[in-house]
Amino acid sequence: MENVALIESFSEFKDDKLIDRVTLMAILEDVLRNALKKKYGDDDNFDIIINPDKGDLEIWRNRIVVADGEVEDPNQEIELSEAQRIEPDFEVGEDVAEEVKLVELGRRSILALRQNLISKIHEHDNTNIYKQFKELEGEIYTAEVHHIRHRAIILLDDEGNEIILPKDRQIPSDFFRKGENVRGVIESVELKGNKPAIIMSRTSPLFLEKLFEQEIPEVFDGLITVKNVVRIPGEKAKVAVDSYDDRIDPVGACVGMKGSRIHGIVRELGNENIDVINFTNNLQLYITRSLSPARVTSIKIDEDTKRAEVILKPEEVSKAIGRGGHNIRLAGKLTGYEIDVFREGAEEDVELKEFSDEIEEWIIAEFIKAGLDTAKSVLEQDLQDLVKRTDLEEETIEDVVRILREEFEE
């Protein structure tokens, strides 16, 4: 293969990989020098001249002329008689530059050279992709569904880069078809071997925070700050916002008229219920707000144990706990405090655990998981609501209600 033809065959990589000519030539020289080392043992005495404009290359080997029979290193030295066949007036001690054609390296070496070049270009390409996406960690990115697997969706961006959206980083209600665009946050980028593994997430709290930046101009401009975000993906989220400008209502600006501003975010997250609350350094007020939409009667905080005891009217308790306990769990995550809910007049109530001699412990545990830890909290609920919230059989619940009523009738 002629030098020019080889260069022309290499030019395809420039177009395919969008690699600049200077980098391509640097890689090509490095690959050629490795081939020369294998063939001649050393490449220090070789000059490689690459002409990107003409698309050709020249390889020159420099040797010193020595007397016939005195060559000790055939790569560094050349006999006088051989040198004079190149140029008749060469003398001992002079330098001889002789062009080396690629064909002299042998067909096998040329094939290995080409394979080495492909490998180096891919390595360069992967390093660039890694650096590019490492800078995008924590940012929203959009890519197209290419392949749907059981444990992950494989996405491709406009440049053909592969992005992985694992099953556990998808919102439970997510359903994507091939060719559909998907938005998420670049969660992590790692090099596995020489290949970058780019992981996208739609369940990260950071995704919700970045959606606020994208969709709400005041957040993007820095007039409103997102202080904290907690989520149960696809179910419920709480976002604490603050503004250093007293003229701006951060909650109102984020929600918009009749929820107009936050509606797009809710839709993107599969109708995830989003509570936006005003952040405050007043811990008592912050915990109170975090339990929204419930109205708190009074609150007692223990900063040493990071616990808060909250007193509510009976009709507010279920609101504070929320469906499946989501509201109280998120309030705890948002504030960093473990929140215990008590009803007004709880001193007249009886904890469910006190009935363990009449009600099996696993049944009591089901009620407690649903946020119903006292006799009155169970008796205040509708039977059908109890079935939905506890996942217990209706007959079992009726037995529990009968036992609890007997306690208060006595």
Please name the residue that has the structure tokens 């800078």.
135
**Mean pLDDT on 3-20:** 51
Are 92 and 191 within one domain?
no
Q: What is the pLDDT of residue 132?
A: 87
Band (4; pLDDT cuts 50, 70, 90): very low
Residues 122 and 215 in one domain: no
Mean of the pLDDT values across residues 48-70? Answer: 80
Which tens digit of pLDDT belongs to each residue from 208-267? 999 999 999 999 999 999 999 999 999 999 999 999 888 999 999 999 888 889 999 999
Q: How confident is the model at residue 85 (pLDDT cuts 50, 70, 90)?
A: confident
Cα separation, 369 vs 346, whole angstroms: 19
Looking at the structure, tell me whether residues 46 and 171 fall in a common domain.
no
How far is 290 from 337, CA to CA, in rounded Å?
A: 11
Share of the chain above pLDDT 90, in %: 42
Kindly indicate the confidence band of residue 47, based on its pLDDT and cuts at 50, 70 and 90. confident
> What does the alpha-carbon distance between residue 287 and residue 273 come to, in Å, rounded to a whole number?
19
Amino acid at the residue 78: I
pLDDT score of 390: 83
Last residue of a domain, one of 153, 175, 201: 201
End residue of a domain, out of 290, 320, 343:
343
pTM of the complete model beyond 0.85: no
Q: Domain containing 42 — which CATH number?
A: 3.30.1480.10
- Domain shared by 328 and 251, yes or no: yes
Q: Based on the domain organization, do 334 and 210 belong to the same domain?
A: yes
* pLDDT for the residue numbered 12: 52
Asked if 312 contacts 281 with a C-beta cutoff of 8 angstroms, the reply is no
pLDDT above 70 as % of the chain:
87
pLDDT of residue 242: 96
Pair (224, 287) in one structural domain:
yes
Domain boundary among 201, 228, 256: 201
Integer Cα distance of 145 and 260 in angstroms: 29
Give me the helices (H) in 58-146, please.
Answer: 80-86, 107-134
Q: Which domain holds residue 397?
A: 347-409
Number of domains in the chain: 4
E-strand stretches of 1-86: 46-51, 56-66, 77-79
